[in-house]
Structures are given as structure tokens and as C-alpha cells.
Amino acid sequence: MNKLITVFLLLLSFGVHAGEVIKVGVYEFPPYVFVGEKATGITVDMIGLMNKFQKDYQFEVVTTTPQRRYKDFDNKKFDMLLFESKGWGWLKYPVAGSLAFLKGAEHYVALKKPGRGQAFFGDFKNKKMIGMLGYHYGFARFHAEADYLKKNYNMTLTDNQQTNLDLILNKRGDIAVMSKAYLNYYFKKHPKQQAKFLVSDKPDQIYRHTALVRKGLKSITVRDINKLLQAMKTKGVLTPLWKKHGLE
């Protein structure tokens, strides 16, 4: 009997420790998320820190894709996203956005050539653009539909940021739109490559990363997320993660 009571108390203790399970959708968005056999990246590291910081919630990673994330959200495969913005196609969905916790930006990247300077990014006419499937870009008025981008901006779309830089290097496109965070990651990993690229001073867009939380949940609200992120900020928990990856 004593053994049964001990097991029961252990299970009860484990249940309290685990907390409410909150499923967080993640998709290929280097360096925030790299999707492979197991998702890795800044977002996954942040989720790990969130789990260590408190015991009320157990945040779990659910992989999706940039294009499929809206349908998966509708099908309730996950209830929350990090490093997201309501302006990225979420305005008609029942989500609430947290306070911004990090700044990010997208910049234009071209092959560096003699005589080519910042003026090259001043006009996109007759230039072949390169971007990511499912992503929203400022120069295209935040449209993400593949057919629209191909028709109106002669845009090649892939599912890999490394591929897009390779396309520029191989002269199969003129301008790629890249996140500043990914460029920092790539140039740190391949420092000799940086001299081959011209990066725009002017960003395509500047955004402030937020968490999006499904409205109407009993388990967690956007107010709860704001409190958690503010507490982590106050304790300096996230600062080492930002510094590690050169984020602002």
C-alpha cells in the first residue's frame, strides 16, 4: 500500500511539474527554426528556456510549414507561435498578439560587382527577385501568394535560405530578400563569403517579433505570455540567447 501511495504521489508531482501543455507551431525560418529530423534554432532554444523558467506550462514544438501554418492552426494542431506577426497573414484569424519582445528586419542581397552600389536596390523593374515560399515582403505589399509574386515581381520562390544565396552566387537571380538574422548567421559561419555579396542599407521591412496565441483558450492567454516574457526579460534569461545569435 505504501508503495502505491508513493507511486501516486510521484505521478501527481510529475503532473504538476509538467503543467498545461501548450503546442507551439514552428516552421522553416532560419536561424529561428531549422526543420530537419528534429527542429532546432533560436525558437526551439527559447521554448526550452520558457519551460525551464516556470512550471505552469509545458510548451511543446509542433512542426508545420510557412504555407501550411494557417490550415494547421485552423485544424488546432497548435495554439501558439513565436517570432510571428499578425501582419503576416493572421489578421482574419482568432489570435491575439503579445507585446513585441525582439526586433528583426529583411534586407536585399545582390552579387557584389564593380560599380554596383546601393542604387541597385532602388528599382526592381527588369530584375529577377528571389524569396521564400509563404513569406511576406514589404516591397510586394506583403502579398505571399506564389502566383502573385511570380507574375508581378518575376520572383523565384524556394524553401531554403541557403539556396537563395546560392542562386545569387550562380547568377540565377538579381536580388534576394533575406532576414538580417539569417545573414548574420550565414556570414558568421562562412566569413569568406561576405565579400561576395552586396547587402542593402535600406531594409525591405522592419518588424517586431511577437507571440501569437489562440483567442478563447482556458489554458493560457496572451496576457499570461506577456507576464512570462516580461519576467524572463527582467531576470535576464533571454539576453544571452539574443547575444549568442547577434539579435537586437
Task: Name residues whose C-beta falls within 8 Å of residue 175's C-beta, 6 or more positions apart in sequence.
Answer: 108, 109, 110, 120, 121, 124, 127, 128, 129, 130, 168
> How does pLDDT run across 169-203, given as a tens digit for each residue?
999 999 999 999 999 999 999 999 999 999 999 99
Q: Are residues 24 and 59 in contact, defined by beta-carbon separation less than 8 angstroms?
A: yes
> How does pLDDT run across 211-248, given as a tens digit for each residue?
999 999 999 999 999 999 999 999 999 999 998 888 87
Rounded to two decimals, the pTM is 0.83
Query: Which of the four pLDDT bands, split at 50, 70 and 90, describes residue 74?
Result: very high
Residue 56, pLDDT > 90, answer yes
Please compute the mean of the pLDDT values over residues 45-49 and round it to a whole number.
97
Record the cell numbers describing residue 31, joined without a space: 536561424
Residue 9, pLDDT > 50, answer no
> Which domains does the chain carry?
2-103+207-244 (3.40.190.10), 105-206 (3.40.190.10)
Distance CA 185, CA 187 (A): 6
Q: Higher-confidence residue: 91 or 18?
A: 91
Please compute the mean of the pLDDT values over residues 138-152 and round it to a whole number.
91
Task: Name residues whose C-beta falls within 8 Å of residue 155's C-beta, 6 or more positions apart in sequence.
Answer: 128, 129, 130, 131, 140, 149
Q: Are residues 214 and 101 in contact, defined by beta-carbon separation less than 8 angstroms?
A: no
The alpha helices in the chain, defined as continuous H runs, are: 2-18, 42-53, 69-74, 146-153, 161-169, 180-189, 222-234, 239-244
Q: What is the pLDDT of residue 18?
A: 60
Query: Which of the four pLDDT bands, split at 50, 70 and 90, describes residue 2?
Result: low
Percent of the chain with pLDDT over 70: 92
Q: What is the pLDDT of residue 19?
A: 87
Phi and psi at 98, nearest 5°, equal -75, 175
